[in-house]
Amino acid sequence: MNSRRHFLHKLSASLIALPAFSGRELNEIQLLNEKAYEGPVLRVAILGLGSYGTRVADAMKTCTRAKLVGAVSGTPSKIKDWQTKYGIPEKNCYNYENFDQIKNNPDIDAVYIITPNSLHAPFAIRTAKAGKHVICEKPMALNAKEGMTMIAACKAANVKLLVGYRVHFEPKTLEIIRMRNEGELGKVMFFQGLCGFRIGDPSQWRLNKALAGGGSMMDIGIYAINGSRYLVGEEPVWVTAQETKTDPVKFKEGVDETITFQLGFPSGVIASCLSTYSMNNLDRFYLNCEKGWAEMQPSTGYGPIKARTNKGELTHTHVTHQTVQMDEMSDIILGGKQPLVPVDGEEGLKDLKIIDAIFMAVKTGKKESLSL
């Protein structure tokens, strides 16, 4: 069995390193993987059955090391629909009131929290107290203080806390990081991250400060923050930021429309970033280095990611991000795997500290120091 697992790990690596498989060959490899895998499977309940929860659930149909087994929602009709669509047994379904009873269910290992941001910390703490591993969508919490309470609760309960940083497992992203780490691009000089779209329905929770904790920064801007960190390969030490608001009716007090921000890194690298809810076609990362460059556009969308460097286009095969993420998170939780780019609570906390500092810099107009 060990040799078979070793073979499968080599196959998985080949999917990243060798992009030239045909669709038929990829299907055959996937079937082989599904038939041969005999290791542990992470049994997951999804909490929050909205559009992204559905996307994750659909992606998990092709996971080999993670399985959707439970559903948690405040809407009874959604649970019924999920039971039918995904074959979830009644005993693995909970509402927000009886959720704590999940501690008595040995058939659920982890809970993936996919709710409005303000519910992340409360449900993460309840999940930890129930003895289940926590997977939480980003941003991990409303602010760094909340994030620290989540980390403390999970440590006290001896459970893992992971954050849904799906692009940390994306092949083209990992290839650029490899090229930087191995010196192929030379010294990093500059990063640009542009993240935004024109948001629609003004009544949605993403434009409600109490539920979202802000506006574009808490939803799309965090990609530029996180991307600057994993592509530059350092932690920023200062931030400056400026806010622009053209529609104060739609974007009320505390709900940011557009923020430009700059991050400074110990080596002297500067990151120039934009987060907005008022412009489309913004999903681009650019890394400038002494010996080369890398560009990604789209850089963080659901896929396929498109990337090129001074050496040419990256052509790694696209696999649904959420499928890869959940299989990788199974390996982290059940197998102790250490990913190249972290997805743990400490990683989530660093982004929250930066967001807190960005909001402060907008208010003060000053350069804010960072200590991550």
Does residue 51 surpass a pLDDT of 60? yes
How many whole angstroms separate alpha carbon 123 and alpha carbon 139? 14
Does residue 3 surpass a pLDDT of 50? no
Peptide bond before residue 236 is cis, with ω within 30 degrees of 0? no
* Domains of the chain with bracketed CATH: 40-163 (3.40.50.720), 167-317+343-369 (3.30.360.10)
Peptide bond before residue 248 is cis, with ω within 30 degrees of 0? no
- Structure token pair of residue 109: 């290992």
DSSP 208-239: -HHHHSSSHIIIIIHHHHHHHHHHHTS---EE
Kindly indicate the confidence band of residue 37, based on its pLDDT and cuts at 50, 70 and 90. Answer: confident
Kindly indicate the confidence band of residue 355, based on its pLDDT and cuts at 50, 70 and 90. Answer: very high
Contact 199, 207 (CB under 8 A): yes
Model pLDDT for residues 215-256, shown as the tens digit of each residue: 999 999 999 999 999 999 999 999 999 999 999 999 999 999
Burial of 79 by CB count in 10 Å (0-12 exposed, 13-18 middle, 19+ buried)?
buried
Provide mean pLDDT across the span 98-107: 98
CA distances (Å), origin 271, targets 214, 234, 241, 268: 22, 11, 12, 10
How many whole angstroms separate alpha carbon 289 and alpha carbon 91? 54
Res 11: pLDDT: 43
The set of catalytic residues is: 138, 223
3-state secondary structure 65-118: CEEEEEEECCCHHHHHHHHHHHCCCHHHEECCCCHHHHHHCCCCCEEEECCCHH
Beta-strand runs (E) in 212-347: 238-244, 258-264, 270-276, 282-289, 293-296, 307-309, 312-314
CB atoms < 10 A from the CB of 101, how many? 10
Res 35: pLDDT: 59
Provide mean pLDDT across the span 34-45: 86
Comparing 24 with 140, the larger pLDDT belongs to 140
Does residue 4 surpass a pLDDT of 50? no
Give the DSSP letter of residue 344. B
